[in-house]
A and B are shown apart, each in its own frame.
Chain A
Amino acid sequence: MATRDSLPGPDPSVRDRLRFARQSVGELVPTPGEGIVGYVFLLPAFVLFGVFLAFPIVYTFYLSFFRFNGVGNDTLLWIDTGFLTYRLTSIADLEFVGLANYAAMFSDSLFHQALFNTTFILVVQVPIMVALALLFAVALDASFVRLRGLFRTVLALPVSANLVAYSTVFLLMMQDAGLVNYLLTSVGLPAIPWLTSSFWSRMTIVGAVTWRWTGYNMIILLAGLQNIPQQLYEAAEIDGATRIQKFRYVTVPQLRPVLLFVFVTSTIGTFKLFSEPVIINGGGAPLDSTITIVQYIYQAAFIDFRLGYASALTYVLIAIVSVLSAIQLNVGGESDA
């Protein structure tokens, strides 16, 4: 402070004094990295992460080797201070079953059906959606398109739509006598049993998910497209590339990391599909042909209270998604773009 006070010139203004005060407070705060200060700042995040993420992850794995018999009542820890008594009870009443939960999956036909449904939706939906998103992104990126901001907003809007609301709208539109069939029949096409045929009911889900997420992925792809240096296209033009060749030799390789991201996140997202089939098709109707893995896990855990089996299913889902992502990363990421 002494040096500051001894500086020549006009007296410091009120704002200057405030700044000096702020600076001297700043000097009192120890530099993070010295001692435990840094960890103190990190503590809230660690605690939240530990309680709400790390513990459930570990505990789910633990649960998957047990049968759940009810809420726990066993005393784990007892502290009697004279005035007050602390008693920590176990979370659940569990019975160790080893790998029985995992083994049960092999003969669980409903699980097989859920796995098939989810895979079917994934295989149909993700490529359609990514292709559509890419098409929209390229179209919006083209220099001649006007009202770009408007189109971008309109296309990306569905992602902010309320899940229940939009699913209900889909449910209404896809009724046997709904809007879609009305339009189809009015142009002379046959009505389609959108909600009652097992194939078409899955296609309804595909349509709903695609409608909701295409705009979101388009935004990501558009950002990727706009990051491609214009000069690469000019160099390709000079080298004699046509529009399609530029797309093939410049856009796609340059967009590869972004495309990979879109594929991986969409795959994971579709594997976790839950709300749309629940709302549109109720409990997986018709005949369990739309029940998804997460929906089945939900049923096992919170309707049948088979927490151990549901935990095992959860880990199988994680394993499947991890393997798929690893494959995608390996196939798509081999060349550094």
Chain B
Amino acid sequence: MSRITLDTVRKEFGSGGDKILAVEDVDLEIRDGEFLVLVGPSGCGKTTTLRCVAGLEDVTSGRITFGDRDVTGLRARERDVAMVFQNYALYPHMDVRRNLGFGLKLSTKLPAAEIDQQVEDVAEMLGIEELLGQKPKELSGGQQQRVALGRAIIRDPEAFLMDEPLSNLDAKLRSQMRTELQTLQHELDVTTVYVTHDQTEAMAMGDRIAVMNGGTLQQVGTAEEVYRDPVNEFVADFIGSPSINVFDATVDGARLDGPGEFSYHLSETDPVEGLRTVRVGIRPEDIQLVDNGIKLGVNVLEPMGNENFLYATLGEQEVTARIDPTNRPHPGESVSFAFDEAALYLFDPETGASLKTKRDGEVPTTPDSIPNREGVESTTGTGPDTGSNDDRMEETVE
């Protein structure tokens, strides 16, 4: 169990002309015992970053340390990490007992009886005692998942590295395992790096979330932080389901003119000072249907039971809104909406950097709930315009 530090880690594949930059100078500190989720779209470099931490890939430049131990040049087997693979990678020719005990057999000098005891203990912990004699192919996806977890746990490693471990499970099992994994990680208190492309999973599981895009780290923060206070439009768009509505608007003093009838008077004009256009973002849940407001043409209504998803058009712009389940506008109808300025996001049209983020219903941050809060400065990643972000951070802390 230890702190994991990535210091300007860079990973390039290939050489010469067809070099691919997979990870670009990532700085990241994963605290002792923390559950950190690396999230991003496919090809964003999250898995490569994890594999660099595991030692399955060499870094092109930069340093990786576990605690005070520099592991950059060490092979995976010398790093004392355990990994759970997306397709589990259980040894097909070994039964569950041997799969679980294999790591101990190779990496420790424990007597066979002791290994067997530990295998039994882990199997009991995961509720797979009755599967010990079976081969992986005789197990269901969920059972294989547990064996893969057990294989990681039994090693009592410095860190757990998990590469989309739940993505091969069906939706119901996935949410069940999600909770179980969190509980387990809490009990074991092992530093964990978890890779997923699923932002819901990231939000639900991570102590902190590291959002990556195009090989660069965009932002690191708690679920609340990356949702309410994203550093740029990419993070705002990636985090949250359904996605935030973002469109262009022209700035005329305090007035924003967007697609269709969208027109809004800002009471606070500082964020758009000196800009001619701005990107406006409104979360689907911040759209309130009102009698008099900005007109929307209804396309589709998806009833979810507890709420309805409204898909509509604002001029040429697609807009999604989460509305009350009792409210059922029909396709083709026209509705009006309004929103709180506090809930509004504004992004720089050139850089995508956040100019203004969500300020409504501020939840006071409780420092105790997050381990080692002293590292607040690391919550903003390499995203552009970190200066203005820090300013807002001070506002938040007040």
Residue positions of A touching B, CB distance < 8 A: 229, 231-232, 234-242, 245, 249-250, 253-254, 256, 335-337
Contacts and interface: CB of A to CB of B under 8 A. Distances in A.
A254 B54 contact: no
Contact of B85 (A231, A245, A337): A231
Contacts of A240: 77, 103, 106-107
Nearest to B103: A239
Contacts of B155: 239
Contact of B81 (A238, A335, A337): A238
A245 to B, nearest CB: 6
A242 B92 CA distance: 19
B107 A239 contact: yes
Contact of B106 (A229, A234, A245, A253): A245
Contacts, number: 63
A254 B92 CA distance: 8
Contact of A231 (B89, B94, B102, B103): B89
A245 B91 CA distance: 13
Contacts of A336: 93, 135
Nearest to B81: A238
Nearest to A256: B93
A231 to B, nearest CB: 4
A239 B75 contact: no
Closest 10 CB pairs of A and B: A240-B107, A239-B103, A231-B89, A253-B93, A235-B89, A240-B106, A240-B77, A337-B93, A237-B76, A238-B83
B331 to A, nearest CB: 30
Given A234-B56, A238-B83, A240-B106, A250 B77 contact: no
Contacts of A232: 89, 91-92
- The size bracket of the interface on B is 20 to 34
Nearest to A231: B89
A253 B103 CA distance: 17
A40 B6 CA distance: 71
B60 interface: no
Interface in B54-106: 54-56, 75-77, 81-83, 85, 87, 89-94, 102-103, 106
Contacts of A234: 56, 76, 83, 85, 89
B85 A235 contact: yes
A254 B102 CA distance: 16
Given A240-B103, A245-B106, A235 B91 contact: yes
